[in-house]
Amino acid sequence: MVNTAVLVSGGGANLQAILDSYFFGQIPGCNLSAVISSVPDAYALTRAKNAGIRGFTVDASLFPNEASFNNAIFGKLKDLDTELVVLAGYRHELDRPTLRYFKNRIINIHPSLLPAFSEGSSYGLQVHQKVIEAGVKISGATAYFVTENDFGPIILQQAVAVDMDDTPQTLQRKVMEQAEWPILAQAVTLYCQGRLRVEGNRVRVLSE
């Protein structure tokens, strides 16, 4: 079983996608061991509690600086004997020691088809605003391994059509429902099944 910890900071919609798959038995090989929040009252913690998954808070606001906060997160992940880390609406950058220790074991999702629209926060409406301004017809989401250069090897991508009537809000919703949630859960599943092999900057998905 792959001990998996999910890092969150907010509403936990991405976490919910994992929880739903998990409880439908769609993530075989995964032991969802903990949800760790950087914000004490994040709704993601309520989602974890409702699902019977252990929730922990490492309150970023209580630390004098980002380095000591990151150190606490790293310590917590190790204490929990974590093998796989999933970032699900986590609003902090992990530090180098954490990224090195968990090399090719940290999965994140970005709400665009990388490397397009990689600039700025992956949280909120910013990316979708830029997509609409650029006039592209296709957007989507990318699940990838986080590396020291941030965007590491791409695990999965899912495209979503951008319609003329889309607003950043409607596009965000579509991207979440049709791309982010399914591929995040699928990427975790593939990892836990031992079906992801990183070859340089590419990820080979092995057949079952």
x/- string (CB under 6 A) for ligand GRF, residues 31-50? -------------x------
Stretch that binds ligand GRF, among 13-21, 33-41, 64-72, 143-151 (CB under 6 A): 13-21
The answer to whether 73 touches 144, Cβ cutoff 8 Å, is no
Site for ligand GRF contains 111 (CB under 6 A): yes
Site for ligand GRF contains 186 (CB under 6 A): no
H-helix or E-strand spanning residue 139: strand 138-147
Site for ligand GRF contains 158 (CB under 6 A): no
Scanning 88-205, the segments in alpha helix (DSSP H) are 96-101, 126-134, 168-175, 181-192
- Nearest CB to ligand GRF, comparing residues 91 and 195: 91
Phi/psi for 51 (5° steps) reads: -95, 0
Can you tell me the distance from the alpha carbon of 59 to that of 69, in angstroms, rounded to the nearest whole number? 8
Q: Is 110 annotated as catalytic? A: yes
Pair of tokens at residue 4: 């998996």
**By beta-carbon distance, which residue lies closest to ligand GRF?**
89
Stretch that binds ligand GRF, among 5-13, 20-28, 95-103, 185-193 (CB under 6 A): 5-13
Pair of tokens at residue 31: 């032991």
For residue 94, the 8-state DSSP code is: P
Q: Quote the crossing angle between the two packed helices 43-50 and 13-23, to the nearest 10°.
A: 10
x/- string (CB under 6 A) for ligand GRF, residues 118-157? ----xxx---------------------------------
Size of the site for ligand GRF (CB under 6 A): 18
The burial of 92, by beta-carbon neighbours within 10 Å (0-12 exposed, 13-18 middle, 19 or more buried), is given as middle
From 22, 33, 106, 110, the catalytic residue? 110
| Catalytic residue set | 110
Q: Which residues bind ligand GRF (CB under 6 A)?
A: 8, 10-15, 44, 88-89, 109, 111, 122-124, 172, 176, 180
